[in-house]
Structure 1
Amino acid sequence: MAVEAERPVREGWTDPTADRGKPAAPSTVADDAIADADATLRRIRGEIDDATGDRDPDLEAQARVIFEHGGFGFTPPDLGATIADAQGGEREDPRRPIVFEIVRGAGPDGIGPEAIRDVIARLHPDLEVPHAATIGKWLGADPRVHKPKYGRYAVRPSKGETPS
């Protein structure tokens, strides 16, 4: 049987496994600090509630007037349009016929959504240019339009006409 040689103990070294299984010593300093922080938070919340609980309606009216003169006035939404949209009634976008006319003028090879955006920006600088995905949604839902090539839209040829 081999006898283990005793290892020399380094100065300042403690065995990390020596205190296993023993309950941790109570830390009163940390507990006191946590209790103080909780009490401070409760006090701050109470002061905020006291300060914001009573509102002066005259002061709020004056603030509203200042905001309205500064251009930040509240305008109620158009409830008729909101109700129509909620019931599934889609309002016609004035840019949609412009998009169709651009596709009509493109010819049988068609035109892509990005090119349509460029044409709208050039011919109608006063209009907001629709997103390419919106243009694709509009043209995909239009029965007069088809896709002659990938990513391009053209007007369907009429019956009796031969595409050139």
Structure 2
Amino acid sequence: MDDRRAPREQRAPRPTAASRERAPPQTAGQAGVNILVDSSVLIDVLRDRLGRPALLQRLVTHGSLLCSCDVTLAEVYAGMMERERPVTDVLLESLYYVPSDPQVARAAGLLRGEWRRKGVTLTLMDACLAALAMRRGLVLLSDNARHFPMKGLVVWTPHDAASKLP
């Protein structure tokens, strides 16, 4: 669907004014890493669990650009309680939205097929996240690191991310 024609409530969140001023995501050095935030972490932020809101704030303070994509948006909205909608909208609109493309979709399908042949079942959503992060040079921040066994994909758990901060 062409976002320009969709009703406002159906559009994917756009970057905030602050995130639009920054360059498109490219992995930088340790400080200022561009991070694709998995829904597992975003849900904990929304429910104020495990210190996740503070962790994301620290990452931003130290120069990281926090990103979302179609998969994270869909997973968060699917698991959201209706009363959480206003705060969910604000959180997701504050993230830099990284669009997918046909090459990412192809890479996701190839990843899923490759791991299936190895006897490992990846969900299509996880394969899409991994492919997007790898193709865009993003670090994937997830509580479910074991869901992402791919070589070439940098996955941080929240504990890993916290340990990299000063």
Q: TM-score, normalised by structure 1?
A: 0.20
Structure number with the higher helix fraction is 2
Higher RCO (CA-CA < 8 Å; seq separation 6+) = 2
Which structure features the higher share of strand residues? Answer: 2
Larger radius of gyration: 1
